[in-house]
Amino acid sequence: MAGGITWHYVLKFIITGDAAVGKSSLLIRLTDQRFLANPDPTLGVEFGSKLIEIPEEGKIVKLQCWDTAGTESFRSITRSYYRGAAGCLLVYDVTSRNSFTNARSWLADVREHADPHLTCILVGNKADLVSDPAGEGGTGSGHGRHREVTTEEAEIWAKEEGLLFVEASAKSGQNVQLAFEQASRDILDKIKRGV
C-alpha cells in the first residue's frame, strides 16, 4: 500500500432487519456521511467499506459492510452473506413495534447461519423522530412518528440475548459510527482472547 493508509484488521459486517428500518441509510451515513430522504428501495445487497480507528487498541479496522435486503423473499439470497461475518447490525425502527418484534426472527436467522461467535449490536434506528417532541422529524418511513419501542425494553431484550445495544439515527448521524465502533471493539477483544 504505497503511501496509503493501511489497516490491521478487515471485519465483515452484515446489516439486517425489516425492510424500511433504515439499513441502507445507516450504511450510506457510515461510508458517505450523508442521508437520502428517498433512497431507492433495497433490492438486494449493497456493499460499503470504511476505515475506522479504535484508538485504545491502536488499531485501524477496515469495515466491509453488507446491507442485506429486508424482505422475506430475499432471505435465501442474503443467507450466503452471513458466512464469514464477524459483526452484525440488527436494525429496527424505534417508531415501529413490528420491526422490533421481527428482530427476533432476524436474530434467529443470523444465529442459524452465521458464526456462533459473531458480535451482534441491536440498533434502534430513527431516534431523531422521537427525540424531537414537535414531531418535525422530516421524511420518515411512513410509520407514525411516535415511539413504539422504549429504550428500556430494547435494552432488556438485548441483554437477555447477549447483544450490544444503541439507539441511532441515520438521518442525524447520531451514534451511527459509534455502533460500528462498539461492535468492532468487541470483535477485537474476542480476537485478543482467542475466541
Which of 146/159 has CB closer to ligand GDP? 146
**175 interacts with ligand GDP by CB under 6 A:** no
**30 interacts with ligand GDP by CB under 6 A:** no
Among 102, 126, 175, 187, binds ligand GDP (CB under 6 A): 126
Which of 61/93 has CB closer to ligand GDP? 93
Query: How many residues can be counted in the chain?
Result: 195
Asked if 176 and 15 count as a contact pair (C-beta separation under 8 A), the reply is no
Among 14, 20, 61, 123, binds ligand GDP (CB under 6 A): 20
Asked if 94 and 125 count as a contact pair (C-beta separation under 8 A), the reply is yes
**23 interacts with ligand GDP by CB under 6 A:** yes
User: Helix 75-82 crosses helix 97-113 at what angle (to 10 degrees)?
Assistant: 50
Please give the grid coordinates belonging to residue 42. Answer: 433495497
Among 25, 78, 96, 184, binds ligand GDP (CB under 6 A): 25
Among 96, 154, 171, 175, binds ligand GDP (CB under 6 A): 171
Task: Give residue for cell 422530516.
Answer: 138
Q: Say how many residues touch ligand GDP, by CB under 6 A.
A: 25
Closest CA to 13 of 123, 103, 94: 123
Q: Which of residues 38-97 bind ligand GDP (CB under 6 A)?
A: 38-39, 42, 70
Closest approach of Cβ 21 to ligand GDP, in Å?
4
Please give the grid coordinates belonging to residue 87. Answer: 459483526
How far apart are alpha carbons 42 and 22 in whole angstroms?
10
